[in-house]
């Protein structure tokens, strides 16, 4: 498990969340992979996200736990507002109430929570699906591109694939 955590941390550290509002950073993060189905894995990913976000935006929250809890609350809000099977849609007042005391016992500013609510209500998260369409993102927004050079048995290199 230690290797997996090292890989997860390295992946999260590839993201630059500096000077981003939390919901913008979450959008970027959640678009970069497909969430696993297992709650424990999601939990670890969100912990690493919160740690990275807080390191790049010091003073934004009292501690990483606040960022972690609020991030989960935002994801749950997105689901509640935009899933057609959820009949009882939360109001901004309910979202604010649900997040009382998460800032190390204190409350986050109402204006911050209202802005987060409005942002999610207006624009739901786009999360890659497992239908192959997210490959479009991979092919049209590569991090690197060029020919792979494969070394043969004879000390020579051959163009063998495209990345």
Identify the burial level of 101 via C-beta atoms within 10 angstroms of its C-beta, where 0-12 means exposed, 13-18 middle and 19 or more buried: exposed
Distance between CA atoms of 163 and 155, rounded to whole angstroms?
Answer: 22
Two structure tokens written together for 71: 């991030």
Kindly report each contact of residues 92-98 with a partner whose C-beta sits within 8 Å and lies 24 or more positions away, as own/partner.
92/117, 92/118, 98/73
Residue tagged active-site, from 38, 129, 145, 153: 38
Residue 129 a catalytic site member: no
Which residues does the annotation mark as catalytic? 38
């Amino acid at each position: 498990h230690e290797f997996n955590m090292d890989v997860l941390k390295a992946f999260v550290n590839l993201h630059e969340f500096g000077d981003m509002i939390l919901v913008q950073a979450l959008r970027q993060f959640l678009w970069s992979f497909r969430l696993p189905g297992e709650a424990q894995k999601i939990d670890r990913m969100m912990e690493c996200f919160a740690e990275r976000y807080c390191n790049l935006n010091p003073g934004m929250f009292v501690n990483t736990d606040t960022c972690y809890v609020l991030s989960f609350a935002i994801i749950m809000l997105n689901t509640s507002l935009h899933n057609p099977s959820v009949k009882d849609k939360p109001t901004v007042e309910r979202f604010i109430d649900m997040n009382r005391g998460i800032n190390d016992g204190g409350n986050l500013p109402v204006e911050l929570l209202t802005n987060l609510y409005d942002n999610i209500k207006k624009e739901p998260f786009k999360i890659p699906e497992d239908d192959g369409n997210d490959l479009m993102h991979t092919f049209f927004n590569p991090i690197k591109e060029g020919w792979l050079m494969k070394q043969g048995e004879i000390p020579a290199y051959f163009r063998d694939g495209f990345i």
